Structures are given as structure tokens and as C-alpha cells.
Homo-oligomer: A and B are copies of this chain.
Amino acid sequence: MPSTSAATADASHWPPPFLLYLGNAPDDLAAKTARGLVQFRPEWCVGQFRGPECRTSVDVPDMDFAQARAAGANTMIVGVANAGGRLGPDSVADIVAALEAGMNVASGLHERLGSHPQIVEAARRNNRHLFDARNPPATPVGNGLRRAGRRLLTVGTDCSTGKMYTTLALETEMRARGLKADFRATGQTGIFIAGRGIPIDAVVADFISGGIEWLSPERHDGGWDLIEGQGSLFHPSYAGVSMGLLHGAQPDALVLCHEPNRPHMRGLGHYPVPDLRTTLAANLAAAQLTNPEAIAVGVALNTSKLDPADAARACREAEDLLGLPAQDPVRDGVARIVDRLLESVPC
């Protein structure tokens, strides 16, 4: 039976390995989901499909649909939309062709695969599954009750400061030390990487904190839930999401993510990026509503645009300012942040 699944769905409906659909992605940023998969799940990525006007690559072999299927791809992942955020006619035709070639199709776009009758019909005809990662599960309203288990949440001065990367790096580091630690995904790329999660920006507004309580329920095995943050309390478009996420997470520990020298808030040239101290104070105050013991344990800096000397200086300045270990997870890993976490919050 074909099906259109919400993010709760058994990941067996969209099994790896994957063909990554880039379509006519106009720039690197448009391929963010595909790039995240190549970075964190390279073993799942057999190839990429690029349209004639595609302006980026995620550095896996180019394939058409038949080649991908022959190479073992079970699911095509759609992470890019055209300029209007929509699935254009070309993309719809490509998705139908991928289904005809025998792959399931999973999408991270706000626009639903299931809203296109041609796609639904092609899935039915070929007995393949469709999965819309931005289709949130139904969850209860948040109740704010303290629940068992340890939780860490990444927060940021802005959107796209490295919260997902940092959270996954923490999972890797903690597991390498023999700790139980599980990444909890809140965005579409994270959901594809983890195989489950909740697209928190797509839930109905009354259910933001409840969605996170559902994602990270009580836990009794001594392990950590590492919850992927979204947005920023200081982003005028999305702060409501960040606020509900903080309250639902009940974090024991926060890690603050920041890109030094960013000129302004993402997409908003008229808003400056808030400073680290102000951002951390606001996040701690909000977090302490549902977990009065919430503390900060580190700063993760995205220094990809700085040379090594400037990157090291930025980390030192953040350490001096906040009294917390500051590292670039890509350059330096997150070992010192995990050290501080384990010193500060008994496991």
C-alpha cells in the first residue's frame, strides 16, 4: 500500500540509501539538507540528481533516476524548492519519474508531496511511499511537568549559526566517551539524519512546547537527550518557535551557538545580531521557567569565515566574556564543552 506519512512515521517508509535531489538549486544554501546528509550520513548517500540549471553540488556522483535505483537507492530526498518555495512543474515531473524508477520519495519542504495528485497517483501506481518531513505529528499541548532524564539544548544568537551541527557533534563526542546520548531532531535535515523528529516550525502555534515534550519524553536510563535548537529569541520572525522550544525542552544545559562577525540577523538587514551576553541571559531566564536549574555549559562558534588566528581569538574572547568553554565544533570539536557539561551536571 502506498502512504503519505507524517514525521512520526516509521523510517522504514523512506529507507536509505538515498538519491539526493538538487533539481535546479540556485546556490549552495539551497542544498543545505542534501549537504547535511552527505556530512553526517555519507554511507546513505549514493548520488545526487542535478537539473540543467543547478548551481551547486554536494560532491557525490551525478546520477539519473534509473542509475540511482541500479546503484541501490531506495529513497529520493527532496530538500530544495524553486524561488517561490514551491515544487515547480519540473520538480513534480522529476519526482514522478523517481517513483516510476522504483524509489520512495521524502521531502523536507513546507509544500507537501501529498498535495500533488500526479505524485500521489504515481506513488500508488508504483507501490512506493511518500514522506513529508514537514508534516508534524499530532501532539498534546505542553504541560510543563518536570520529567526524568537529562537534556541539553542548543540555542543561538540567530538562525543558521550551527545548532544542528553542534548538537550532532556533541552526540558523537559523548558517545565516544561511552555515554548514552541521543540527538533529537527539530528540523527537516535533522529528521532525515536521525530517522525521526518533529518539524517544530511547522506545528500549530499552540503546540510548540508540547511538540518538544513529545520529542523528548521522560528518560530513565541515565542518558542525555541532545535537542536541536531553532531560530533565536532575538529573531523577529521566529522567536515564538525558539521560546516554545526552550520551555518544552526543560534543558539542564544550554550551548550557545554564534557566528562571529555576521553583519545582521539572517534575512533581516535592519536587525543587528544580539551580543552573546544578552542572548545567553535571555535564554537562561526563559529556560528556568520550566527547569530552574538550567545552566549554560559552552559556546559553539561557527568561524568558517575567519582565518585560524582570528578564529582562535574569537573563541578566547567568548570564553573571557562568559566564563564558558568556547570552541568551533568543525575546527576544534566539542570536547571541552562536554568536559564542562559533565563537571557541571551530574550524570
Contacts and interface: CB of A to CB of B under 8 A. Distances in A.
A209 B232 CA distance: 13
Contact of A240 (B143, B244, B268, B270): B244
A323 interface: no
A240 B237 CA distance: 12
A142 interface: yes
Contacts of A298: none
A243 interface: yes
B270 A238 contact: no
Interface in A183-237: 200-206, 208-210, 233-234, 236-237
Interface residues of A, number: 37
Nearest to A145: B270
Say how many copies of this protein the assembly contains.
2
Interface in A140-164: 141-145
Contact of A144 (B201, B205, B237): B237
A268 B145 CA distance: 9
A237 B271 CA distance: 28
Contacts of A234: 289
Nearest to A278: B285
A207 to B, nearest CB: 8
Nearest to A270: B145
A142 B237 contact: yes
B203 A204 contact: yes
Contact of A243 (B204, B206, B240, B290): B240
A47 to B, nearest CB: 31
Contacts of A142: 236-238
Interface of A: 141-145, 200-206, 208-210, 233-234, 236-245, 247-248, 268, 270-271, 282, 285-286, 289-290
Given A239-B289, A240-B240, 14 more contacts: A143-B236, A144-B237, A144-B270, A201-B204, A201-B206, A202-B204, A205-B208, A205-B241, A205-B244, A236-B289, A239-B247, A240-B244, A241-B244, A242-B243
